[in-house]
Structure 1
Amino acid sequence: MITTASQLRERSLLGLKEMSRNEIESILDRAHYWESQQEKLIPVLQSRFAANMFFENSTRTRFSFEMAEKRLGAQVLNFSAAASSVEKGESIYDTVRTLESMGIDAGVIRLKPAGVLQELAEKVNVPLVNAGDGNNEHPTQALLDLYTMRKAFGELKGLSVSIIGDILHSRVARSNLWALQKFGAKVSFCAPDNMQASDLATYAPYVSMQEALQADVVMMLRVQLERHAEGMLRSADEYREQYGLTEERAASLKPGTIIMHPAPVNRNVEIDSAVVESEQSRIFPQMANGVPIRMAVMERAMKL
């Protein structure tokens, strides 16, 4: 069966910036359906083959996709660039085309360079799902974040959401910004001067840490400690003191505020260990919510 270009676009998930609110909502609703199922394995995709192609390291996201695919009964091929011919110089495009030629029905792909995924999607004839491309987007992370917020508050409209940390390098911040604003949520950023993304300032304001903590949702971003070597991060201790969600700061949050983090967490850097496990934290529920969200996304990509 030949898949048309418009069908590929409808079934791929490259980002949330261009996706309609209705389409996002349909994925969230379908995730709710999958979460409500008692059976762990419902093989609606048992004749389909998915390839998880990770050209950048990931454990948590890859396992979440694999769990989602296997719960739907799909056959799963896991591909890691560290142990592949890409390390020998084979292009990402050739690798994806090779797997397409072998008969995969959809590809989940994580890349370091931004912009490459869009080019790939125009050249291959299988739906592609973005599992993180450079500093551009991480759509399934934002979808599970929205799903988590919707479960906590009932709706997204009118919510105030503070995203705190390295905005400059964060694809999570971007995907959340694009998606949340479609639903009428108010997004604010908080970041050190050298971690602010100036291109996003026209879409959401940068506020002080004190102001950021007044939000309904306080989303901490992972600090990439390797930035210390680049001179962007003076020290982990100093970052925690100025921008970390310490126990003292967490105690000042409104009772109904929820704490989120895309994980993995640098405990006692961007967020104190006790706060990770606190009553207001949704960090582990976020991870759980990633599976039904990715079930919805993969079903959409590979529906018969």
Structure 2
Amino acid sequence: MKNLLSMEQVSIQQIEEILTRAAELEAGAKPQLAQNAMVANLFFEPSTRTKVSFEIAERKLGATVIPFESGFSSTLKGETLYDTVKTLESMGIDAVVIRHNQDAYYEDLLPGINIPIINGGDGTGQHPSQSLLDLYTIFKEFGRFKGLNITIVGDISHSRVAKSNMISLKRLGANVQLVCPEQWQGEFPEANNEWGDLHKTSDVIMLLRVQNERNVTYEGYSTENYHQQYGLTVERESMMKNNAIIMHPAPFNRGVEIDSDLVECERSRIFEAVNNGVYIRMAILETILKERKYNDSVTSKFAVSR
């Protein structure tokens, strides 16, 4: 795997290998990455979890993290993203992690950039590393994907997390249902515009943040109305299956997508997923960088294709 751009481009075998390696790293396995690798994280949108967990993963692997602040870069002078990345490549950077507000920004980079590109989120496109950490969280809980009922609730049309997870979960045999206001269905007209009984039948309820920075409100929208119609309330949680879990890619709006009392409840895997993200991103970086420079192999132990 030279790059990590979208979940369509990641094979089932590669998913298995990344999940396996993440589990090994979490269990204390020694990283398989030379000390001299250099990685730059180019984040042109705000981020806490993704940016910091990539930085932690890079340091745990022994890589050198090259500081990059978009607000002080030459992009403010009109330099293109391609020229910025090409400049870093010319300086000897081994890989870049990029978050950008342009959908599929990487398509402009691929013809001339020869170092690995890891997509940290592209516009309203995809977020593959988040999808992989979500898969890891689900697999650790249930030991399978096939036959699980996954309900994704929120702003489907603007969510790169939802799009990445729908692709990967369906390929792995899960049943995926969508719940959102009709105005937020986007390219997914099959989405339900109300909960129905999905809170009673789901193994996983995955909530999505209302993206206020994208002005994604609709007529009659208010945080109170949204919480009652589409949020995970204490009442809905009380009717969930005994072993069902709650997920949210975060950041979350307490009292909007999820009742504040449920953020750290027994069912919640929100902060556990954040921890899982460090090991998944270590596995991603290790896989990509050693394919570029090293020849080690990873034996799959997560038989997710069953």
TM-score in terms of structure 2 length: 0.90
After superposition, give the CA deviation of every residue in 1:207-226 in whole Å (9 maximum; x if it has no partner): 63133312100000011124
Q: Summarize the Cα distance change of 1:235–1:280 in structure 2 as closer, same or farther, 3 Å threshold.
A: same
- 1:234 equivalent in alignment to 2:221: yes
Q: Secondary structure at the match of 2:47?
A: coil
SS in 1 for 2:88: helix
Match of 1:4 in 2: none
Question: 1:23 maps to which residue?
Answer: 14
Structure 1 residue aligned with 2:202: 215
Paired position in structure 1 for 2:298 = none
Q: Does 1:206 align with 2:207?
A: no
**Partner-residue secondary structure (3-state), 1:132:** strand
1:225, 1:233 within 8 Å by CA — same for their partners in 2? no
CA displacement, residues 226-264 of structure 1 (integer Å, 9 cap, x when unaligned)? 455865672111111111111111111111110000001
- 1:122, distance to aligned residue in structure 2 (A): 2.7
Shift of 1:84: 1.8
Give the superposition deviation at 1:48. Answer: 0.4
The total of aligned residue pairs comes to 290
Q: Does 1:50 align with 2:39?
A: yes
> CA shift at 1:133, angstroms?
0.5
Equivalents in 2 of 1:141, 1:31: separation in Å?
13
Measured in 2, the distance between the counterparts of 1:244 and 1:274 equals: 13
The RMSD of aligned alpha carbons is: 1.7
Q: Which of residues 131, 153, 158 in structure 2 aligns to 1:142?
A: 131
1:90 deviates by 1.4
1:297 and 2:284 equivalent?
A: yes
- The structural deviation recorded for 1:206 is 3.1
**TM-score with structure 1 setting the length:** 0.91
Secondary structure in 2 matching 1:271: coil
Q: Partner residue of 1:152? A: 141
The residue type paired with residue 234 of structure 1 is Y
1:254-293: per-residue Cα shift (whole Å, max 9, x none)? 1111000000111111001110010000000000000010
Given candidates 268, 280, 283, the residue that maps to 1:281 is 268
The residue aligned with 2:25 is 34
Residue-by-residue CA offset, 1:43-91 (whole Å, 9 max, x unaligned): 7231100111112121221000000010000000132212322122211
Change over 3 Å in CA distance of 1:228–1:12 after alignment to 2: closer
> Paired residue for 2:161, among 169, 172, 184?
172
Per-residue CA shift, 1:112-163, capped at 9, x if unaligned? Answer: 0112212212320101001000111100000000000000001111111000
8 Å CA contact 1:50, 1:74 repeated in 2: yes
What amino acid does structure 2 have at the position aligned with 1:28?
A: L
Q: Distance in 2 between matches of 1:45 and 1:212?
A: 47
Q: Is the 8 A contact 1:227 1:233 kept in 2?
A: no
State whether structure 2 residue 261 is matched by structure 1 residue 267.
no
- Decide whether the 8 Å contact of 1:228 with 1:234 is kept in 2: no
Letter in 1 for 2:101: K
Q: What are the Cα deviations for residues 177-205 of structure 1, in whole angstroms up to 9, with x where unaligned?
A: 1111111001110000111122x34xx65
Residue 3 (structure 1) aligns with: none
Gaps of 5+ in 1: 1-9
Provide the identity percentage: 48
User: Higher relative contact order by CA 8 Å / sep ≥ 6: 1 or 2?
Assistant: 2
Equivalent residues of 1:162, 1:188 under 8 A apart: yes
Query: Are the counterparts in 1 of residues 33 and 289 from structure 2 also a CA contact under 8 Å?
Result: no
Q: 1:14 to 1:125 in 2, by over 3 A?
A: same
Question: Higher mean Cα deviation, 284-293 or 209-218?
Answer: 209-218
Matched ranges for 1:253-264 at <5 A = 253-264=240-251
Q: Is the 8 A contact 2:32 2:286 kept in 1?
A: no
Q: Do 2:194 and 2:230's aligned partners in 1 also have CA atoms closer than 8 Å?
A: no
